[in-house]
Structure 1
Amino acid sequence: MAAFMQQRELAITLWRQTWPMAIGVLALLGFQLVDSAFIARLGTSPLAAQSFTFPLSFLIIGIQVGMGIAIAALISRALGGGEDARAKRLTSLVLIAGGGVIGCLAVVLWLIQVPVFRLLGADEAALGYIRSYWGPQLFSAWLGALLYFIYSVFRAHGDTRTPGKMMVLSSLINLVLDPLLIFGIGPWSGFGLPGAAWATAIAFSVGLVLTSGTLARCQWVTREDIGQECRRSWRPFIGIAAPAMVSQLMPPLAAMLAITAVAGLGDTYVAAWGLASRLETLSLMVILAMTMSLPPWLGRCYGAGDWAQIQQLMRLALKVAVIWQLSLGVLLALGAPWVAMALAGNPEVQGELALIIRFLLPSYAALGVCMLVVSAGNALGWPLRAMLLSSARLFVCYLPCLWLGAYLYGWVGLAVGAAVGNLAAGLMAWLLLRRILSRPHRQAGYVS
């Protein structure tokens, strides 16, 4: 009876920690999908041009998420160990460093845009759209990274409601501005494709102003002894952030390689693949929310040495992930024609999108297991294993199956191959987690 009550209490706490982030992620990813849906009304060429930018946009997101993982892990461990003053110093330090790193990356991606997009398969027509879109898109990505780092601080303190609310607010602002800035109003014809990026930049700016004020009022930042904290914490930060960033950079790299295969099939398939990528992240909203809410909780347990609760948490999280994701995937697969009709204006794109939804969406149950194990690894002192698992998921399971399927059976084979790769990755992650949690004292090493 006591075990049941403890499990029930864990489930309630996990729900309370996760649902604000799930709503926030739904809103955030929803407005990205809305961006693509509005852009689809401009035509297949603008939509294909935006799809070519996804891998590089995911590159920025991968680095920011890797840094955010390190931020949440170090701050939550400091709080778990009763080092509140150090948590404040870490907050100030990582916000400054993170903004600088993402800013430098955005400048580099602006300078190398033409050769990179040509390498991905973009033709001159697509490059024309990309040139006008890429600058404001990089600016909005930098603002979004700063906002994400602040969200990571709130999550490390156990506050998931504030980030969730800000994500919803930013999404609503973007939703209102999207049609106005893309299509214009009255005699003004709008910005076209760049309007989507400017709408996102404005939405993120509002979120930054509000969350920065809340952060200051909570007194979670300080100017004192930042230099000393930098000398103390740069090694553990890099020890967590570097493997985490490599893990997060693997998906953008895999996306670049995947889109080169899709580009050979034509613009219609590129457009369908881009919409499917947006739908993938939206359908994984609960998993993404748990990868944000769970690691700080695990980090505090890790700092306190409570491995029994860590095991209970992971078992509960994996059950929720599989049941939710499989149910949602089957539902969306059954409604694939109507989902595709709502997202794509071109009937040809609708048909190809519906086909890939049927195969890929149910397989995200296994993908969710892998994502949660990777996320937990960064919080529990085995970031290298998490990095290797992330790499194996993409380059041992996902891409080989995708390429082989595309080579043998074209678009249908690509969809089936990607689904098989996800299933293999989920099984591999589950076996690794079971082995590690059976011997936690041997597998995890504390990083102070």
Structure 2
Amino acid sequence: MTLGVMSLLGFNLVDSVFVARLGTEPLAAQSFTFPLVFLTIGVQVGMGIAIAALISRAIGAGQEHRAGRLGVLVLTGGGAVMAVLLFLLWALQDPAFALLGASERIREVIRPFWNVQVFASWTGAMAYFGYSLFRAHGNTRFPGSMMVITSLVNLALDPLLIFGLGPVPALGLEGAAWASLAAFATGGVITAVYLRGRGWLERDGVLAEVRASAGPFAHIAGPAMVSQLMPPLAAMLATGLVARLGESAVAAWGLTSRLESFSIVLVLGMTMALPPWLGRCYGAGRWREVQRVMAAAARMVVIWQVVLGLLAALFAAPLAALLVESPAVREALTQLIRFLPPSYGLLGVCMLVVSASNALGWPWRAMLISFLRLFACYLPLLWLGAWLGGLTGLAIGAGCGNLLAGVMAWSFYKKGLRRHLDTLQAPL
């Protein structure tokens, strides 16, 4: 899963690198769309978390037929919900981007890109729901491989559609959206073919399953969606704050967001691979295994991210020069890279705790941790840093917010697990 997520996020980073060659204005336009893209991803991930948790628990309890009915529900219901959401984001794009601070000139650049991107996002969501079924059944190799394939398709099509070649016209920023759409469609079609012979989908009794699972689904999906929607909301507020520092700062902030996702790829892989494992432990009552898995995951994340973050900070200037040509954007990106990546170790711990809490039946605790991370740790220190020291202060404040969030989340996890074991007197 880590290799798959790395390739998928690499494809997002490649998008930004190619778009950066078009100039500061297209890169800033793309950066303004990130909060809305993250919003759609938050909804699909929240639904995927709930379904994966229910399916893995059903498998752990030996309820294979129920797992098949839940598989059908995630594909049909998830597709319908995402279609409605993306239609609303398309219809409300002008006021949404204006609220984020995009000028009329930038919004004109965004419109053709966004018209295609909404279709790409729905296609990507459907592929993601298919990957979630494989993960819930303990197969992480296939979704990881599909992420690599979609990344390679995007990598091949990006320069062709953005800059044009021969009879293929140069589409500019819009070409990046068409490349994403083609890549996600490739992943979705292959996934559908592989799902057909697996026996993981069962139509009989689906309506009865809707009634039986509506309560448990809402119990997990509601808080999970809220947890996943809080980062896009925080990203919107942060983007609005950064927009006050100029278009170069917005462009650098957008690239930093892509770099952040790419640099915490190990964390993201774990947040996808661990919940089905933890869900089965939950269903079977193996709480000692839960403790061992979480402790090992936290140690691995902290060591890896601290080492990677220090290397990124050390080579911030050459890395920024490699990614962008604009001197103003390059200078801003250098400042952000110097202070943010070293804090991703404890940010990763916080993300692991949120993911594990959903899998272990603590969705409200996961939502509380997400809220405190963003609105009690990250955004206040981000604002304070920007007020005191401009872009550099903003980067320092964001890094400190990540560190504080990690410490807070781990203390919540330890206290919650101890209380849960004492209450249930689960066998160790």
When the two structures are superposed, what TM-score results if normalisation uses the length of structure 1? 0.94
Q: Is the 8 A contact 1:436 1:443 kept in 2?
A: no
**1:330-361 CA-partner distances (Å, limit 9, x unpaired):** 11111111211121121211111011111000
Q: Is the 8 A contact 1:382 1:444 kept in 2?
A: no
1:75 corresponds in structure 2 to 55
1:345 corresponds in structure 2 to 325
2:143 corresponds in structure 1 to 163
Aligned residue identity for 1:296 = P
Q: Secondary structure at the match of 2:47?
A: helix
2:166 to 177, 186, 189: 186
Note if 1:334 corresponds to 2:314: yes
2:69 corresponds in structure 1 to 89
1:260-299 equivalences under 5 Å are 260-299=240-279
Q: Distance in 2 between matches of 1:186 and 1:166?
A: 30
1:3 corresponds in structure 2 to none
How large is the RMSD of aligned CA atoms in angstroms? 1.3
Q: Distance in 1 between matches of 2:64 and 2:371?
A: 35
TM-aligned CA distance change 1:188 to 1:220, over 3 Å:
closer
Q: Is the 8 A contact 2:160 2:168 kept in 1?
A: no
**1:251-306 CA-partner distances (Å, limit 9, x unpaired):** 00000000111001100000000000000000010000000000100000000011
1:228 to 208, 228, 247: 208
Q: Distance in 2 between matches of 1:188 and 1:226?
A: 46
Note if 1:30 corresponds to 2:10: yes
1:126-165 equivalences under 5 Å are 126-165=106-145
Q: Distance in 1 between matches of 2:342 and 2:260?
A: 11
2:392 corresponds in structure 1 to 412
1:211 to 191, 196, 216: 191
2:225 corresponds in structure 1 to 245
Note if 1:380 corresponds to 2:360: yes
Query: How many residues are paired up?
Result: 426
Aligned residue identity for 1:93 = L
Q: Distance in 1 between matches of 2:114 and 2:181?
A: 12
Alpha-carbon deviation of 1:189? 3.7
Alpha-carbon deviation of 1:437? 2.0
Q: Which runs of 5+ in 1 are unaligned?
A: 1-20
**1:91-136 CA-partner distances (Å, limit 9, x unpaired):** 0011100000001000000010001111110001100111111011
Aligned residue identity for 1:335 = F
Q: Is the 8 A contact 1:291 1:371 kept in 2?
A: yes
**1:123-168 CA-partner distances (Å, limit 9, x unpaired):** 0110011111101111100011111111111111110000000000
Note if 1:106 corresponds to 2:86: yes
Alpha-carbon deviation of 1:394? 0.2
TM-aligned CA distance change 1:348 to 1:443, over 3 Å:
farther
Q: Is the 8 A contact 1:370 1:425 kept in 2?
A: yes
Aligned residue identity for 1:284 = I
Q: Secondary structure at the match of 2:340?
A: helix
**Identity in percent:** 59
Aligned residue identity for 2:331 = G
Alpha-carbon deviation of 1:439? 2.6
1:407-446 equivalences under 5 Å are 407-441=387-421
1:61 corresponds in structure 2 to 41
Q: Distance in 2 between matches of 1:146 and 1:188?
A: 28
Q: Secondary structure at the match of 1:102?
A: helix
Q: Distance in 1 between matches of 2:105 and 2:35?
A: 19
When the two structures are superposed, what TM-score results if normalisation uses the length of structure 2? 0.98
Q: Secondary structure at the match of 2:204?
A: coil
Q: Distance in 1 between matches of 2:166 and 2:321?
A: 28
Aligned residue identity for 1:124 = E
Note if 1:174 corresponds to 2:136: no
Aligned residue identity for 2:43 = I
Alpha-carbon deviation of 1:248? 0.5
1:124 to 86, 100, 104: 104
TM-aligned CA distance change 1:271 to 1:156, over 3 Å:
same
Note if 1:322 corresponds to 2:308: no
Q: Distance in 2 between matches of 1:381 and 1:55?
A: 28
Q: Distance in 1 between matches of 2:33 and 2:257?
A: 12
Q: Is the 8 A contact 1:72 1:153 kept in 2?
A: yes
Alpha-carbon deviation of 1:188? 4.6
1:308 corresponds in structure 2 to 288
Alpha-carbon deviation of 1:35? 0.2
Q: Is the 8 A contact 2:161 2:168 kept in 1?
A: no
1:393 to 373, 377, 391: 373
TM-aligned CA distance change 1:433 to 1:298, over 3 Å:
same
Q: Distance in 1 between matches of 2:327 and 2:54?
A: 49
Q: Secondary structure at the match of 1:439?
A: helix
* Greater mean alpha carbon deviation, residues 68-77 or residues 431-440: 431-440
